[in-house]
Structure 1
Amino acid sequence: MKAIVKDKAEPGLRLMDVPEPSIGPGDVLIKVLRTGICGTDLHIRDYDAWAQQAVRAPLVLGHEFAGEVVETGPGVTDIAAGDLVSGEGHLVCGKCRNCLAGRRHLCRSTVGLGVGRDGAFAEYVALPASNVWVHRSPVDPDIAAIFDPFGNAVHTALSFPLVGEDVLITGAGPIGIMATAVARHAGARNIVVTDVSEYRLELARTVGADLALNVAQDTVEQGQRRLGLREGFDVGLEMSGRPEALREMIANMTHGGRIAMLGLPSRDFEVDFARIVTSMITLKGIYGREMFETWYAMSVLLERGLDLAPVITGRYPYRDFDAAFDDAAGGRCGKVILDWTA
């Protein structure tokens, strides 16, 4: 089968013929229909410092996907050939304290699909049935392919109650844009989104931001005044991983404000812990999705009218993966999709 592979310990990717994966008891074989390009995939293509530490070539990339079940292994009873599915890309041990307590998203032995083992940028992918999410309601395959990052957005945005709250979202990448749509759907009062890309700020406006603020030109404090906020933001969703973004968020939170942090910094940096203490601000780290409560919430949000279509801005046949990766890396985009049926 064809697959996009990090074949050597150097920058670049190749489209190669690789063996089709086999399945055993409890496994599911899936014909891939669509995949989404993630920032992780861009790091692996560039073979930066993180990728050099995290991956070993040869490796089939990809963890955002939707596909059709073609075969199930012995013991799989609730998934059938023909089902449209997505995959939870965090494979857990099932034996540690957190796994046994039903907190699989906190497993210390998590292995990432397309990072620690061969992934879904291929014509077929195999997964344990426990990592397969069946779409019981109709969903466009393009949307089903981005359930992984959509789950990051939902997990982050719904970490704290949003009804009637003033929300600050720092970082208008695809996940920040999806979080904006979720916050609007969930009943936030005012939503301010910050970035330095006018293209992505416009996407944020499209999905419901009350104010999309270019922080190269204006400050968050100025945004507060523009909306008439007197005491700061109730909820912060930090999606950028940028030191200056978190610092400005902390400086503009109300007393007792709550911050969910998904953006992954590239280095250590200082924050104003005195402000965090004296303002009694809550910081919560977010990684991945809660299995599978977040997935249930995602499906329900879509069933009740949440529209993610504006987030997808690029669609390419998988053979044009180089152009698709360039598009995703360029910054003037939302989510970029590879079509494995074209």
Structure 2
Amino acid sequence: MKALVKERAEPGLWLTDVPEPQIGPGDVLIKVLRTGICGTDLHIRSWDGWARQAIRTPLVIGHEFVGEVVETGRDVTDIAVGDRVSGEGHLVCGTCRNCLAGRRHLCRATVGLGVGRDGAFAEYVALPASNVWVHRVPVGLDIAAIFDPFGNAVHTALSFPLVGEDVLITGAGPIGLMAAAVARHAGARNVVVTDVSEERLELARKIGVSLALDVSRRSIADGQRELGLREGFDVGLEMSGSPVAMRDMIANMTHGGKIAMLGLPAQEFPVDWARVVTSMITIKGVYGREMFETWYAMSVLLERDLDLAPVITGRYPYRDHEAAFADAASGRGGKIILDWAA
């Protein structure tokens, strides 16, 4: 089968033939239809410091996908051939304290699809049935392909109550944009999104945020004044991993404000902890999705007409992966889809 592979320990990806994956008694074989390009895939392609430490070559990359079940193991009873499915890309041990307590998203032995084992940028992918999400409610292929990052957005956005709250989102990348859509849908009063890319801020406006703020030109405090906010933001969603963004967020929170932080910084940076303490700010780290509570929330949000279409800005046949990755790496658009049925 064709697959997009990190063949060698150097920059680049290679479209090549690899053996079709074999499944065990508890596994499912899936014909991949579409995939989404993630920031993780960009890191692996560029072979940066994180990738050099985390990846062992050769490796089929990719973890955002939708496909159709073509084979099930003998012990699989609740998934059928022909089902349209996506996959939870964090494979957990099932035996640690958190897994046994039902907190699988906190498993310390998590293995990432397309990072620690062969992934979904291929014609077929195999997964344990316990990691397969069957789309019981109709959902378009493009949206189903990005359930993994959509889950990150939902997990982060719904970390704290949003009804009637003023929400600040730093970072208008694809996950930040999806989080903005979720916050609006969940009843936030104002949703402010910051970035330095005018193209991405325009996508935020299409989603319907209260204010899309170019922080290279105006401050978050300016945005507060424009909206008539007197005491700061109630909820912050940090999606960029930028030290400046995190410090600015803390400086613009109301007393008792709550911050969910999904953006992953490249290195340590100082934080005004005195402000955090004296303003009684809560900061919660978020990684991945709650399995599978977040997935239920995603499906219900879409069932109730949450519109993610503006977030998807490009679709390419998988053979045009170089152009697709260049688009994704430009920092100007939203989610980029690879079509494996084209």
Per the shorter chain, which TM-score range?
Answer: over 0.9
Q: Which residue of 1 aligns with 2:338?
A: 338
Matches within 5 A, 1:83-102: 83-102=83-102
Secondary structure at 2:127 match in 1: strand
Q: Which residue identity does 1:341 align to in structure 2?
A: A
Secondary structure at 1:305 match in 2: coil
Q: Which residue of 2 aligns with 1:53?
A: 53
Instruction: Structure 1 unaligned segments of length 5 or more: list them.
Output: none
Q: Which residue of 1 aligns with 2:149?
A: 149
CA distance in 2, matches of 1:308, 1:79: 27
Deviation at 1:93, TM superposition (A): 0.2
Calculate percent identity across the aligned residue pairs: 82
Q: Which residue identity does 1:35 align to in structure 2?
A: T
CA distance in 1, matches of 2:88, 2:333: 24
User: Does residue 184 in structure 1 map to residue 184 in structure 2?
Assistant: yes
Secondary structure at 1:315 match in 2: strand
Secondary structure at 1:336 match in 2: strand
CA distance in 1, matches of 2:160, 2:207: 20
Q: Which residue of 1 aligns with 2:310?
A: 310
Deviations 1:238-260 (A, max 9, x none): 00000000000000000000000
Q: Which residue of 2 aligns with 1:291?
A: 291
CA distance in 2, matches of 1:332, 1:261: 22
User: Does residue 70 in structure 1 map to residue 56 in structure 2?
Assistant: no
Q: Which residue identity does 2:71 align to in structure 1?
A: E
CA distance in 1, matches of 2:166, 2:332: 27
Q: Which residue of 1 aligns with 2:277?
A: 277
CA distance in 1, matches of 2:33, 2:216: 39
Q: Which residue of 1 aligns with 2:250?
A: 250
Deviation at 1:106, TM superposition (A): 0.0
Deviation at 1:30, TM superposition (A): 0.1
Q: Which residue of 1 aligns with 2:29?
A: 29
Deviation at 1:74, TM superposition (A): 1.2
Deviation at 1:228, TM superposition (A): 0.2
Runs of 4+ more than 6 Å apart: none
CA distance in 1, matches of 2:333, 2:170: 17
Q: Which residue of 1 aligns with 2:203?
A: 203
CA distance in 1, matches of 2:183, 2:195: 17
Q: Which residue of 1 aligns with 2:230?
A: 230
CA distance in 1, matches of 2:309, 2:191: 20
Instruction: Please report the TM-score for the alignment, with normalisation by the length of structure 2.
Output: 1.00
Secondary structure at 1:276 match in 2: helix
Instruction: Please report the TM-score for the alignment, with normalisation by the length of structure 1.
Output: 1.00
CA distance in 1, matches of 2:26, 2:308: 32
Deviation at 1:208, TM superposition (A): 1.9
Deviations 1:155-201 (A, max 9, x none): 00000000000000000000000000000000000011000000000
CA distance in 2, matches of 1:204, 1:95: 42
Secondary structure at 2:336 match in 1: strand
Instruction: Structure 2 unaligned segments of length 5 or more: list them.
Output: none
User: Does residue 321 in structure 1 map to residue 321 in structure 2?
Assistant: yes
Deviations 1:246-285 (A, max 9, x none): 0000000000000000000000000100000000000000
Q: Which residue of 2 aligns with 1:114?
A: 114
Deviations 1:259-312 (A, max 9, x none): 000000000000100000000000000000000000000000000000111100
Q: Which residue identity does 1:218 align to in structure 2?
A: R
CA distance in 2, matches of 1:146, 1:32: 13
Q: Which residue of 2 aligns with 1:38?
A: 38
Q: Which residue identity does 2:45 align to in structure 1?
A: R
